Each structure stands twice: as C-alpha cells, then as structure tokens.
C-alpha cells in the first residue's frame, strides 16, 4: 500500500496547489483585464481628433495632431512594459493574501490613471511641455513605488516559490532603484525637456526585459563582492 | 487491482471537480471583466476635464477639478473593495446554478452603474453635496443587498465547500449588517455631510479585509455566547 | 505492468482532453470579455445625460432622463440573458472548430451592437416609440438566429459531449422557436407599443432560465408523443 | 518501485507543462482582453451618430450614416479575423519568452489602433475615399508584419510543439505572403477604389479559415516539388 499512499499524497498536494493557483489566477485575470482596457482606451483620444475638425482634409488632421499619435505610442508602451513586468513578478508568486490584493490594487490604480497623463501629453506637449512631461514622470514614480511594494511584500512574506527566492531578490532590487531614478528624472523635467526624454528611453530599455536586467544586476553585485573580498 | 481502482476513482472525481471548477471559473472571468472595465472607465471622466477648458493652464485645470480626482479615487476604491469581497465570497463557492448567476448579475448591475454616481459626485459635490452623497450612498445599499443575496443563497443552497460552511456563516453575516449600516448612513446624508463621509470611511476599512472582519465578528459572537452561558 | 499502462492511458487522455478544454476556454474568455465590455459600456450613455444640462438640479436631470435609466436596465438584462444562455450552450460543447468561431463571432457581433439600439431606445422612446422598439426588436431576431446557429452547428457536427446530446436537442429547439417568436413580435411593433413590451417580458422570462425552459419543452413533447401513441 | 517512479516522473512533467501552460495562458488572456475591448469600442462611434443630429428622424439618421454602419462591420470583421488567426497561431506555441511578449505587443498595438482607421473610414469614405482606404490598408500591412513576426520568431526559436513544426511552417508562410499582398493593394488604393475593395475581400476569405489556407498552400507546394522532380 505504500506506493499508492504516496500517489494519494501527490494528488492531494496537487489539489492544494491548484487551489493556490486558482487564487493567483484570479488576481492575474482581473489585472490583465485592467491592463487590457487601459491600453485600449487610449485610442478613444485618437478618434477624438477626427471629431474636432471635420472640414479639414485627412492629412492635415494627421499633421496637426502628431502629438496625439506620439502620446498614444508612449502610453501604449508604458502600459505594455507595466504588464510585462507584472507578468514576471507574478510568475514566481505562489500565494495571494488580502494585503497583496491591495498593493496590487495600488498598481492597477496607476495603470488605470495612465490614459489621463497620456491625454495631458497629447494636449499640452507643445503649450506646456515641462509640466506635461513632469505629470507623466510623476506617473512613473507611482508605478515604480507600486511595483517595488508588490515585490518587497511578496518577498518578505514568503509568497514566492522557495527555489526562486534568491533570483527574486535581485529582481525586486531593480524596482527599488527605479524609484530613485524616476524621482531624479522627475525634477530634471522642470529644467530641461531633452534630458528627461533621453533618460526615460533608457528606463524603458531597462524594463523592456526585466529578467535580463535583473540577472545583469545580479552579476554586477557578485563581481563587486568578489572585488571586495580581494581587497 | 484494488489500488488501481482507487486511483481510477480519484481521477474520475478529479474530472467532476474540474467540471464544477470550469463553471465557477467562467462566472468569475465574466465578473472580473465587468469589474475591470467599470474600474477603468472611470478615467474617461478625468480625461473629459481636459477637453472642457482648453485655454487654461494645466495647473489651473487641476485645481479647478479637484472633485473629479477625488471622485475618481472614491469610485476606484469602491469597485476594488467590491472585487476583493467578490473574490473571497467565490473562493468557497464550489458550484454555480442559474439562480446564482442572476443574483451575481444583480451585483454586476450595481458595479456597472458605479461610474455614474462617481460622475455625479465629481460634478455636483460642491453644488448639491447632500443629494450627490445620497446617490452614492444609495449605490452602497444596493451593493450590500446584492452581496448579502449572493452569500445567503450560496449558504442556504449548499453551494459552499462543506468544510468552510461554518466560516462562511459569519462571513455572510457581515453583509447583512452592512445593509442596515448603509441604510442608516443613507438617511444621515440628507442632514449632514461630514458624518456620512466619516461613517463611509469606517465601512471601507471594515470591508477592505473581509476575512479579518468576519473572524473578528465570529470571536465577538463566541465571547457573547460564553457570557450568556455564565449568566 | 498492466495497471500502470492503464494509468498512462488515463494521463494521456487527460492531456488530450485538457487540450480541447484549452481551446473552448479561449473562445469563452474572448466571448466573456466582449459580453463584459458591452454590458459595461452602457453606463457611458447614462453619464452623458449629466453633461448635457449642467445648469439643472440633479433630481430634474433624473426625472428628465428616466428613459435613459430604463434603456440602461433593458440593455443590461438583454446582454446578461445572452451571457447566461451562451454559458449554458458552451457548457456542453467539448470541441471548437473555425466554423464555430465564426458563428460565435456572429453572436458577438450582435452583442457588441446592442449598446446602439439601447441608445436609440433612450433617445427616441418618446419621440418615435414604434421605430425605436422595432430596432431593438430587430436586435432580438439577430440574437435568436445567432444562438440557434451555434446550437444547431454544434449539434450537427457532434461537438457536444455524447452523453448530453439528447438534452442538447431540446435545448437547441428553444432557440429555433425564439426566431419565429421574435420575428412575429417585430412586426407587431409597427402596430402597437404595449403588446410587444408585454411579449418581450415573456421572452425574457423564458430565457432567464434556459435549462428549465428546455426541460419544460422536453416534457411537453414527450407528453404529446404519448398522446399520439394512444390515438 | 519502478512503476511508481514513472508515475512520479509523469506528475512532475505534468507540473512543468502546466507551468508553461500558465505562462501562455496569461499572454492569451491579456491578448483576448485587448481584442475583446477593441472590437467592442467600435460601437461608441455608432452611438456618436445619434448625438450629432437630434432633430432628425431615426430612419434619416440611419440613411445618412450608412458609412458608419459599413465601417463598423468592416472593423468588426477585421478584428475578429485577427483574433481567429491569433488563436490558431498560439494553439501550437508551448512556451513564451520576453521577446515573444514584445512581438505580440506589436500585434496588439495595431489591433488597439484599429478603431481609429475604422473611424476614419466612417467619416471620410465619401469625402476622401482613396486616402481613407489607404489608411485602412496601411493597418492591414502592419497586421501582416506583426503576425508574420510572431510566427517566424516562434518557429525559429523552437517555441512550438515539435510534432506540429512542419505544419507550422506552411502556416507561417501564409503571413509572409500576406505582407506582399497587402503592400501591393495599399499602392493600388491611390489609383482605384473598386479593385482594392475586391482584393481585400479575397484577403478576408483567405484568412477567415487560416488552417484551411495553410493546408491548401502546403498541397500546392508538394505538388510543385513533385513536378520539379519529374523534370
């Protein structure tokens, strides 16, 4: 009877695991829904440009509203990057509690809000470029804080699969750094326009592939530790 | 052949369970979709503020429309609290029938409606604060009634996992109390503005962590029972 | 080794089944998304009423726009009934092919369209009640045709679990009847307003619980068969 | 103990597989959400037509805005065809990496954008038919490029189930051809209106059932190979 009981045990464990999976699945489905809608609502602002001037030719409308198309692309990439990072962060989370739901709710709050700074960017990029950029930059600070909170909470409360804990540590580190980075760039927005745009592109590039960034960071840290040991 | 047939039995049972899971999953996916969209549509009202006055500066628009931002936050938290409570309620429901779909539909009706009282709040908080607040308060009554109906129906028709039945009882109790609470606050709205706001914050706090509230309620009831036995 | 190979066989079968499940799951998730969004977009028309007259008091706006609230409720119930019926129809479908995707797409087309006749109803219920009602009625014809097509196709191409085939037959019958019913009511719309409203309420009642309606229909048919045998 | 360890092995493998499934599921849920929302937002433009002229009769509005209804149908079918093809492409993908998420993001970008050219079509089909058609045609080029990128990347990086690799090759081929096709039709738009419309209908017909088109293409290629061997 030994072998059977072990299978029994495995089936029971499988059920318990699938219960946890169900919970994490539901928070992911809800979040995916919010990401998907926020990213799709952006197009409504584009359509709006068609209604504002109906007497003009099509090409004139396009050239008059190039900021709307630019803002649409920036808003789209912002939310997509958020989603990709959210995806990676939740890949290793095996359990969800009410606190994590609230912290995740904070992130969704900012994601839901994103079409607003996008619309600000479309309408005020030429008139008040500094303020418009700073508002979008403030959005990035909020996103970084929310992402850092999710990872730190999941890490500290052992909601992550034990085998990936070490990896998750360096993963969560990159969001901590992102907070400092976005705060600094936010203040630069009030002085310059070109520099923050350049710095935001670097930010995008780093978080476009969060797994790679995390492992690069890990290598740097290990190399530094070795260096310290030598001296 | 005994051991095998038991495995067979387990696999068959696993299939039956997974059929039930599929059913509950679909009602959850649909509900999650409605929650996610309702919560994201709120931003459209914020964007609207940008279109109303295009000649003003950005900061002036922000200070003129602080009610819109406040209403957005309140609407967001309202729907998020609903979702968290919906999540907990359905965590223990193992089967779904047509009646439950309709009762769940009642809740979704109110959730779908929520962006409307939010827009009322944004537009009339200063002009007709009492009426605006009462309309939002009426929304809370409807939510409580719908949540109570779901839990009561699921409890009475044994749609809950048997092992969690006792826990679910005290869980469903908190929604019953919420009905009385929201009805009373609704009438206070016509007399005062400060008191209902304060009372709604308490309501939010209680339902932000429904599991904790339910277990606190349970402890109070047990303590009272003990007291009664003593006397 | 016999027992093991049987377990093997079961695991392989389980995998194949889970592949089919994945396919049906995805068409359901997409459909659920469309249902959820269509049902939530209805509120945008309600919010619109707030923007049309900003000088009026809140209660005046509400009493002026009672048709919008009525239309919102009708639109909501219509889409919810569709979703419940869609849910039941797909519960027994075990496989999905490209043709079924297209037929399902036809249903989604009508569901997506539904907010439009709802807005027509809200705006023209008083001015052109007959035409407005007929447009909504035309929507019901399209829904019936799409629902009947899904069930007939799934039935004829053996996409249904074999054990539920008999039940599915009477289930599919009720959509066939619905086509005739909605076509007749559509033409009555041009003559009267009260009668079609009354007939649509009966229609709603019948499809609010499709499983019950199907089994009632089944009993009637069996009773009639028996009667025929006697004579 | 041999048999048991094999079961163990199978259960472990089942878990690993289900992890991969979870990942692909999430990208599918997110994509399905985007498809579902983009397809449902199209109706907002239809509702807009009701608000533009409130003094006219219903039937006059309908006959005045037949382009809006036509554009709605075209936009709907476009996104539905995209979804069906996306569904088939991901059916055989068993693993997802960050790069594929970005390439899929490119497709979603175009899908999200689609309501915009649809609105252009509705508003400018009569005034500037050539330009309006070319803008919609440009959308089709982008879709083809994105679809081809997904399939080519998945094929080259062995993200497809090994047993379907051969089939996937001819499947990916049809998207490569679609790029050339749509580019050519795009340029014809500047010369004629009737011919591109006719050519787009053929395009729709080919991608309405991508599996059939792929296998037809496969047969043609095999026949040609045989022919070559003979000569």
Q: What is the pLDDT of residues D121-168, one digit of tens each?
A: 888 888 888 888 999 899 999 999 999 999 999 999 988 888 888 888
- Which of the residues C40, C69, C73 would you substitute to probe the B interface, choosing the one with the greatest number of B C-beta atoms within 10 Å? C40
What pLDDT, on the 0 to 100 scale, is given for residue C116?
A: 92
What pLDDT, on the 0 to 100 scale, is given for residue A124?
A: 86
Which of chain B's residues have a Cβ under 8 Å away from the Cβ of D36? 33
Mean pLDDT over the full length of chain B: 83
What pLDDT, on the 0 to 100 scale, is given for residue D143?
A: 93
pLDDT in tens, B111-157: 999 999 998 888 888 888 888 899 989 999 999 999 999 999 999 99
Look at residue A127 and give its three-state secondary structure.
coil
A47–B contact, CB cutoff 8 A: no
D3 pLDDT more than 50: no
User: B146 and B113 in contact (C-beta within 8 Å)?
Assistant: no
More confident residue, D75 or B5: D75
* Separation of alpha carbons D206 and D221, rounded Å: 17
More confident residue, A147 or C26: A147
Number of domains in chain A: 1
Which of chain C's residues have a Cβ under 8 Å away from the Cβ of A36? 33
Look at residue A209 and give its three-state secondary structure.
coil
What pLDDT, on the 0 to 100 scale, is given for residue B139?
A: 92
What pLDDT, on the 0 to 100 scale, is given for residue D6?
A: 52
What pLDDT, on the 0 to 100 scale, is given for residue A91?
A: 84
What pLDDT, on the 0 to 100 scale, is given for residue A163?
A: 80
Q: From the list D14, D50, D87, which residue is nearest C26 (CB)?
A: D87
Cut 0.90: pTM above it: no
Closest CA to D111 of D210, D46, D175, D38: D38
Q: From the list A4, A38, A115, which residue is nearest B3 (CB)?
A: A4
Contact at CB, D123 and A50, closer than 8 angstroms = yes
**Distance from D231 to chain C by nearest Cα, in Å?**
39
Contact at CB, D34 and A40, closer than 8 angstroms = yes
Contact at CB, B7 and A7, closer than 8 angstroms = yes
Q: From the list D26, D48, D112, which residue is nearest A43 (CB)?
A: D112
CA-based nearest residue in chain A for residue C33: A33
* Separation of alpha carbons C229 and D66, rounded Å: 55
Contact at CB, C37 and B33, closer than 8 angstroms = yes
**Distance from B37 to chain D by nearest Cα, in Å?**
9
**Distance from B165 to chain D by nearest Cα, in Å?**
31
User: Residues in chain C with pLDDT < 50?
Assistant: 1-4
What pLDDT, on the 0 to 100 scale, is given for residue D106?
A: 93
**Distance from B219 to chain A by nearest Cα, in Å?**
20
What pLDDT, on the 0 to 100 scale, is given for residue A18?
A: 55
A50–D contact, CB cutoff 8 A: yes
What pLDDT, on the 0 to 100 scale, is given for residue D217?
A: 81
What pLDDT, on the 0 to 100 scale, is given for residue D53?
A: 59
* Separation of alpha carbons B103 and B107, rounded Å: 7
Confidence of residue D19 (pLDDT cuts 50, 70, 90): low
Contact at CB, B102 and C212, closer than 8 angstroms = no
Confidence of residue A108 (pLDDT cuts 50, 70, 90): very high
User: D46 and D38 in contact (C-beta within 8 Å)?
Assistant: no
What pLDDT, on the 0 to 100 scale, is given for residue D2?
A: 42
Alpha helix segments (H runs only) across A165-209:
165-188, 194-208
Q: What percent of chain A has pLDDT over 70?
A: 88
- Which of the residues D40, D44, D53 would you substitute to probe the C interface, choosing the one with the greatest number of C C-beta atoms within 10 Å? D40
**Distance from C39 to chain D by nearest Cα, in Å?**
10
Q: What is the ipTM of this complex?
A: 0.82
For residue D142, how many C-alpha atoms fall within 13 Å in the half-sphere facing its CB?
Answer: 19
Which partners does chain A have (≥3 C-beta pairs < 8 Å)?
B, C, D
Count other Cβ atoms within 10 Å, centred on residue A155. 17
Count other Cβ atoms within 10 Å, centred on residue C218. 17
CA-based nearest residue in chain B for residue C47: B116
B56 pLDDT more than 80: no
pLDDT in tens, D180-213: 999 999 999 888 888 988 999 999 888 888 888 8
The tokens describing C158, both together, are 């053996």
pLDDT in tens, A38-47: 998 898 888 8
pLDDT in tens, D43-99: 888 888 887 655 677 788 888 888 888 899 999 999 999 998 998 888 888 888 888
Contact at CB, A112 and B43, closer than 8 angstroms = yes
Confidence of residue A4 (pLDDT cuts 50, 70, 90): very low
Contact at CB, C43 and B101, closer than 8 angstroms = no
DSSP letters spanning C20-56: HHHHHHHHHHHHHHHHHHHHHHHHHHHHHHHHH-SSS
Range of the domain at B21: 2-230
């Amino acid at each position: 009877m030994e072998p059977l009981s072990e299978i029994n045990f495995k089936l029971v464990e499988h059920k318990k695991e699938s219960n946890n999976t169900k919970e994490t699945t539901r928070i992911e489905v809800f979040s995916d829904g919010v990401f998907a809608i926020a990213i799709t609502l952006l197009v409504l602002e584009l359509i709006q440009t068609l209604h504002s001037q109906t007497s003009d030719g099509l090409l004139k409308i396009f050239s008059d509203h190039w900021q709307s198309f630019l803002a649409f692309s920036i808003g789209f990439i912002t939310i997509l990057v958020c989603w990709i990072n959210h995806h990676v962060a939740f890949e290793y989370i095996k359990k969800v509690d009410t606190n994590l739901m609230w912290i995740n709710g904070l992130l969704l709050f900012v994601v839901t809000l994103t079409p607003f700074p996008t619309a600000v960017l479309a309408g005020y990029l030429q008139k008040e470029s500094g303020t418009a950029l700073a508002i979008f930059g403030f959005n990035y600070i909020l996103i970084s804080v929310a992402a850092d909170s999710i990872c730190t909470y999941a890490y500290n409360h052992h909601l992550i699969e034990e085998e990936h804990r070490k990896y998750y540590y360096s993963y969560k580190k990159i969001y901590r750094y992102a907070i400092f980075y976005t705060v600094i760039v936010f203040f630069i927005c009030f002085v310059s326009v070109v520099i923050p745009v350049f710095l935001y592109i670097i930010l995008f590039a780093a978080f476009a592939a969060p797994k790679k960034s995390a492992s690069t960071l890990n290598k740097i840290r290990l190399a530094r530790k070795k260096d310290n040991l030598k001296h």
